[in-house]
């Protein structure tokens, strides 16, 4: 395993954030008794503010992003005889949501050097049974939502846009999450805004919103977000832009300090106008470099590195249809290394130290390879 000579603890921020505003918001909801209502004022306020922030007409709060994905699929009328296209590297819960509604996943590859679905292959994969495309923005890498929305409209199918990781990102000035016929957010424990668990469905289509309401009503809503969770999210929505700016600055600093690195390879640049944000900072390791060794060395250096998603490529292929060889998705699955976004909220001198330790890991790997 590579060795880092100096591994003093790094002063990393905690997550969820220790914010007086969040504590005050939850306390106010608790003391008012409003939290005990089916439709708490905090929930109504959060839905209204999310609609404004994401430029959509309808918001439905959910217990998780995964629940919101499944509800979105039902709302765009995905049925047991339907096919839904998604990337070969994605959050595993998305393929399970497709299976949960009885539909068949159709798997296409990711773009070379990126973590997002390849729009060219999506067009090739559309068939008579295709009802929807489920596409995700991952690790600050934004898929070509404009093109996929145009393609979906042309072919009479739905685009479900998974924006769970990119609260506050935009493409050509339009918020990520608002490009799809329906968009999905997650407020899970690690997300850029968190209530421990939680999510939201976004849409500007009246019929989709009505079908989502009918699908979720039994007659009270299934898998709702609580008033206390909504109260925790309201202050975070107010500070989201500031936090995202800090995350972008940190990633820009890392890219500057790691330029020329052989190990720490960022995704290819997005070929369209965008302003992203980062749930994870992520890299592709080159062939021949042990990911386990790199992650172990990072952890020893006090840097919270991980593998990212455990993909679903090795599941029985009889359960879905594939288009292409999925070689890029294999690269994402086997060679991705990610770093938690809380690191990106650290002071820039800490970011500088992290870059130094990442380069030290690389030097140690190279010295061992030359020995």
Identify the domain boundary among 205, 221, 236: 236
CATH number of the CATH domain containing 82: 3.40.640.10
| pLDDT above 60 (res 359) | yes
Mean pLDDT lowest for which of 5-19, 201-215, 320-334, 348-362? 5-19
Q: Is residue 3 part of a domain?
A: no
Cβ-in-10-Å burial (0-12, 13-18, 19+) of 30 comes to: middle
For residue 47, give its domain range: 20-236
pLDDT at 4 over 50: no
Tell me which residue of 144, 141, 75, 69 sits closest to 105, measured CA to CA.
Answer: 69
Question: Are 48 and 122 within one domain?
Answer: yes
Q: Does 7 reside within a domain?
A: no
In a domain, 191, yes or no: yes
> Tens digits of per-residue pLDDT, 321-333?
999 889 999 999 9
pLDDT of 232:
97
Q: Is position 132 within any domain?
A: yes
Confidence of residue 368 (pLDDT cuts 50, 70, 90): confident
227 and 303, same structural domain?
no
Residue 368 annotated among the catalytic residues of the structure: no
- Are residues 224 and 265 part of one domain? no
pTM for the whole thing?
0.96
Whether residues 46 and 167 share a domain: the answer is: yes
CB 263 within 8 A of CB 285: yes
Final residue before a domain boundary, out of 236, 260, 294:
236
Average pLDDT, integer, range 238-250: 97
Lowest mean pLDDT among 12-21, 140-149, 230-239: 12-21
Question: Into how many domains does the chain fold?
Answer: 2
Q: Which of 191, 255, 280, 368 is catalytic?
A: 191
- The CATH number covering residue 272 comes to 3.90.1150.10
d(CA 201, CA 225): 12
Average pLDDT, the chain: 94
Residue 168, φ and ψ in degrees, nearest 5? 95, -5
Which tens digits make up the pLDDT trace of 22-75?
Answer: 999 999 999 999 889 988 999 999 999 999 999 999 999 999 999 999 999 999
Report the number of secondary-structure helices (H) and strands (E) in the chain: 11, 14
* C-alpha–C-alpha distance, residues 80 and 101, integer Å: 7
């Amino acid at each position: 395993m590579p060795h880092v000579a100096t591994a003093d603890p790094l002063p990393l921020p905690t997550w969820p954030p220790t914010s007086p505003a969040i504590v005050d918001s939850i306390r106010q909801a608790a003391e008012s008794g409003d939290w005990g209502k089916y439709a708490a004022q905090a929930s109504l306020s959060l839905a209204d503010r999310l609609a404004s922030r994401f430029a959509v007409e309808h918001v439905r709060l959910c217990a998780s992003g995964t629940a919101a994905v499944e509800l979105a699929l039902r709302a765009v009328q995905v049925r047991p005889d339907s096919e839904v296209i998604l990337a070969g590297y994605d959050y595993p819960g998305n393929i399970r949501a497709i299976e949960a509604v009885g539909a068949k996943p159709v798997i296409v590859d990711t773009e070379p050097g990126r973590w997002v679905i390849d729009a060219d292959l999506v067009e090739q994969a559309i068939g008579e049974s295709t009802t929807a495309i489920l596409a995700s923005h991952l690790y600050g890498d934004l898929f070509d939502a404009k093109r996929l929305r145009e393609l979906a409209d042309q072919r009479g199918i739905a685009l479900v846009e998974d924006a769970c990781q990119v609260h506050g990102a935009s493409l050509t000035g339009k918020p990520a999450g608002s490009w799809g016929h329906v968009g999905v957010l997650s407020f899970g424990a690690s997300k850029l805004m968190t209530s421990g668990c939680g999510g939201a469905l976004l849409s500007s289509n009246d019929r989709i919103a009505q079908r989502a309401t009918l699908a979720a009503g039994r007659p009270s809503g299934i898998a709702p977000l609580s008033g206390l969770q909504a109260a925790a999210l309201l202050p975070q929505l107010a500070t989201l832009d500031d936090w995202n700016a800090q995350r972008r600055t940190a990633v820009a600093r890392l890219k500057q300090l790691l330029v020329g690195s052989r190990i720490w390879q960022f995704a290819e640049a997005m070929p369209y106008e965008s302003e992203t944000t980062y749930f994870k900072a992520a890299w592709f390791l080159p062939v021949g470099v042990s990911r386990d060794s790199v992650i172990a060395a990072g952890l020893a250096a006090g840097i919270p590195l991980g593998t990212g998603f455990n993909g679903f490529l090795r599941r029985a292929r009889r359960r879905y249809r594939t288009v292409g060889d999925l070689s890029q998705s294999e690269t994402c699955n086997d060679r991705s290394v990610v770093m938690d976004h809380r690191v990106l909220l650290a002071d820039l001198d800490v970011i500088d130290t992290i870059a130094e330790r990442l380069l030290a890991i690389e030097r140690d790997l190279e010295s061992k390879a030359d020995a």
